[in-house]
């Protein structure tokens, strides 16, 4: 958009970026969208918005291949030294779900109970992902509407002050820039962020599915090769990534 504006300005008298800065319109669109989200979800959920934004900006890619290799090494240890030997390895594991699953397996917890506990975590995460995405989708849907409201208010103010030429410019700017802000917030920020949250959430769910299948395979005494074969479908290209990581 910036490049297009400069190209358009090169054919005329130039473009001033200050033309597109209008605090009242920004307050109308952004503040209106946030208020709609606040009215749509509980206050505690709304206050988690800064944490969600940090997650969007500073997210780390999921290392599924590395996780599979970790589970294969754990399977090798359990196969050679017994399941109880994993108790000395749990302190080196940073993933809380994997740590919990291994401890339950070492303690002799029934496989059905281990699956039930991890499945509950997965369902809980799915709910959070849906709510986080819904917050941004709600702002995206409301953005153009509040942009139109800003446009209408600007036009009303302009028509009410036609006898004051100095006020026509600022009110007309709020009218037009408000529509721009609403469309830009929806299509350039909120909707893409919602889709990115859905992608990141899917990666987290796949991580827990890998952990669940891996822990159950280790508890069942499967060989490392069999564990690798069971987890290969979770990796790109049917497990070639895991082979390369090894």
pLDDT tens track for 91-111: 778 889 999 999 999 888 999
Going 33 to 39 to 42 to 47, the CA torsion angle's sign is: positive
Instruction: For residue 61, report the phi and psi dihedrals to the nearest 5 degrees.
Output: -65, 145
Residues 124-181 have pLDDT tens digits of: 999 999 999 999 999 999 999 999 998 888 888 778 777 777 777 777 777 788 889 9
The residue among 244 and 69 whose pLDDT is bigger is 69
Instruction: State mean pLDDT over 218-229.
Output: 91
Alpha-carbon gap, residue 79 to 88, rounded angstroms: 15
Q: Where are the domains of the chain?
A: 23-39+95-218
Cα distances from 162 to residues 155, 165, 169, 174, in angstroms, run 11, 6, 11, 15
Token pair listed for 180: 């721009």
Mind giving me the DSSP string for 66-133?
Answer: HHHHHHHHHHHHHHHH-GGGGGGTGGG---HHHHHHHHHHHTT--HHHHHHHHHHHHHHHHHHHHHHH
Mind giving me the DSSP string for 45-71?
Answer: HHTTHHHHHHHHHS-----HHHHHHHH
pLDDT band at 44 (very low <50, low <70, confident <90, very high): very high
pLDDT band at 72 (very low <50, low <70, confident <90, very high): very high
């Amino acid at each position: 958009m910036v490049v297009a504006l400069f190209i358009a300005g090169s054919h005329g008298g130039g473009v001033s970026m200050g033309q597109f800065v209008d605090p009242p319109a920004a307050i109308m669109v952004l503040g209106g969208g946030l208020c709609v989200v606040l009215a749509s979800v509980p206050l505690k959920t709304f206050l988690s918005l800064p944490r969600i934004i940090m997650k969007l900006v500073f997210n780390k890619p999921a290392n599924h291949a590395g996780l599979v290799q970790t589970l294969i090494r754990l399977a090798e240890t359990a196969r050679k030294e017994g399941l109880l030997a994993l108790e000395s390895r749990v302190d080196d594991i940073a993933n809380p779900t994997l740590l919990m699953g291994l401890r339950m397996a070492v303690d002799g917890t029934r496989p059905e109970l281990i699956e039930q506990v991890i499945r509950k975590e997965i369902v809980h995460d799915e709910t959070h992902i849906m709510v986080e995405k819904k917050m941004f989708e709600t702002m995206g849907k409301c953005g153009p509407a509040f942009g139109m409201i800003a446009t209408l208010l600007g036009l009303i103010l302009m028509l009410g002050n036609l006898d004051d030429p100095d006020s026509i410019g600022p009110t007309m700017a709020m009218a037009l820039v408000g529509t721009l802000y609403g469309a830009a917030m929806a299509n350039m920020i909120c909707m893409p962020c919602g889709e990115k949250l859905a992608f990141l959430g899917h990666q987290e769910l796949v991580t827990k599915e890998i952990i669940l299948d891996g822990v159950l395979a280790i508890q069942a005494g499967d060989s490392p090769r069999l564990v690798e074969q069971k987890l290969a479908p979770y990796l790109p290209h049917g497990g070639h990534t895991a082979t390369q990581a090894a």
